[in-house]
Amino acid sequence: MENFFKLKENNTDIRREVIAGITTFLAMAYIIAVNPDILSVAGMPKGAVLTATCLSAGLTTIGMGLYANLPFALASGMGLNAFFTFSVVKQMGVDWRIALTAVFVEGLIFIILSVTNVREAVVNGIPNTLKLAVTAGIGLFIAFIGFVNSGIVIQDPDTLVKMGDFTTPPVIISVIGIIVIVILSKKNVKGALLWGIVISTLVAWGYALTNPKVAAEVYKIYLPNGIFKFESLNSVAFKLDFSYITNPDKMWSFITIILTFLFVDFFDTVGTLVGVATKVGMIDEAGRVKNAGKALLVDAIGTTFGALVGTSTVTTYVESSAGVAEGGRTGLASVVTGILFLAAMFLSPLFIAIPACATGPALIIVGFFMMENIVEIDFSDFTEGVPAFLTIALMPLTYSIGDGLTIGILSYAILNLINNMLIRDEAKKKKVSIVVYVLAILFTIKLIMTGLN
């Protein structure tokens, strides 16, 4: 363990990595239930998708641990699965087999970009200010997810969002979880996030035991419906359909779908990787993410493999920060998370029964942890502070890490280009990576094309 994962070198140990791996898994376990629900709307068999979700998440996360030695977990991406179902299948009328094929081709393109180090160059070319901003922005983003899952923040037709009802069981359970995590963290108890999830889950199950009908129908809190169950992959695995490629009338629609998957996955992954890595010091003196090339290659392979076994785009999860906050620093944490995903294929009724209001508190507290480095951003320099602010604010407000990073980089490029043009002294001009300007051009084209469509 020590020689392979370099535990001492990363100031960690087996116990800490195991706790981190379990914590990351529990923070992500909701995808085991949510992904099949979303993809079933596209006409895919729910049970088979559940198995595909666990298998792809498990093997790719283990791959991340063994190959890249990083505590990052992967699974079918939220947002990407919604785009798969509601935009591609429902709105465009594309069969889910065609959509899976688009995901598969996107993964192949990712692999090529990763092998040629294009993706790594993008990650390393992002300015340090934006890396700090991405960390804080992701913190707000996942905290927002936690507040919504907890029922503390709810939808409102007039104001978009508002405060939830603090007398409802989900909110009470979430508040208990937050209090438990804060107290245990204050006492320096290892695994505070994990204990918060476990205690919240037990309280939720206790409520479901006393009032099962209301708990299930109103608050989506269920008792485990058994323990062991396995669903076959036969109905979704290797069901790719390449007919759109050979049809001139359909080919351009297919290319558009691929590029959209590619864009969203690319920048969600980059944003997550940069944000979490910056938070825990996995950045070298040159501002480069540790083992970024390997991590990005695993992510690309995961997308391709996921499409083959029958699920939407597999991507690096921001919830990895929950395990990182518990001290996870090496791939051992990812191996633990991956094993738990594989086990979930056979224990799915148990893991699906962990309610969102039990994992919400962990996400909220992790969001708090990820805001710490915001003080290092120089907000007095408008060419640094404004792009950072836009990145931080727009990630939760657009519900997209990729969109927040897009506007952050675009504004950084524009403001610094104008500023440098106004400065005559070459020595005072700010050095901006060519990667930033290339990305800015691509983002401009993307925004224009999105507006025209």
* Residue-range definition of the domain harbouring residue 253: 7-367
Q: Across the strands, what pairs with 161? A: 155
Element (H, E) at 154: strand 153-156
Is 403 among the domain residues?
A: no
How far is the C-alpha of 347 from the C-alpha of 204, rounded, in Å? 19
**Per-residue confidence (pLDDT) for residue 252, from 0 to 100:** 79
Is 210 among the domain residues?
A: yes
Alpha helix segments (H runs only) across 310-400: 320-325, 331-344, 348-352, 356-369, 382-397
Q: Give the residue carrying structure tokens 């190959």.
A: 67
Is 385 among the domain residues?
A: no
Q: Give the residue carrying structure tokens 């160059």.
A: 121
> What is the pTM (predicted TM-score) of this model?
0.78
Alpha carbon 80 to its chain's center: 10
How many domains is the chain built from?
A: 1
How far is the C-alpha of 125 from the C-alpha of 142, rounded, in Å? 25
Mode of pairing for the β-strands spanning 74-76 and 160-163 = unpaired
**Per-residue confidence (pLDDT) for residue 211, from 0 to 100:** 92
Is 83 among the domain residues?
A: yes
Contact 83, 264 (CB under 8 A): yes
Is 384 among the domain residues?
A: no
Quote the tokens at residue 12: 């960690």
Residue (of 110, 52, 109) closest to 307 by Cα position: 52
**Per-residue confidence (pLDDT) for residue 286, from 0 to 100:** 67
Is 416 among the domain residues?
A: no
pLDDT in tens, the chain (453 residues): 888 999 999 899 999 999 999 999 998 888 998 899 899 999 999 999 999 999 999 999 999 999 999 999 999 988 788 889 988 899 889 999 999 999 999 999 989 988 887 777 777 788 889 888 988 888 898 899 889 989 999 999 999 999 999 999 999 999 999 999 999 989 988 788 888 998 999 999 999 999 999 999 999 899 998 888 898 999 999 999 999 988 888 887 888 888 878 877 877 788 888 888 877 677 777 667 788 889 989 999 999 999 999 999 999 998 898 999 889 999 999 999 999 999 999 988 888 788 989 989 998 998 898 888 899 999 999 999 999 999 999 989 988 877 888 899 999 999 999 999 998 888 788 889 898 998 899 888 878 876 775
Q: Across the strands, what pairs with 315? A: 75
Is 91 among the domain residues?
A: yes
Is 222 among the domain residues?
A: yes
Residue type, 431: K
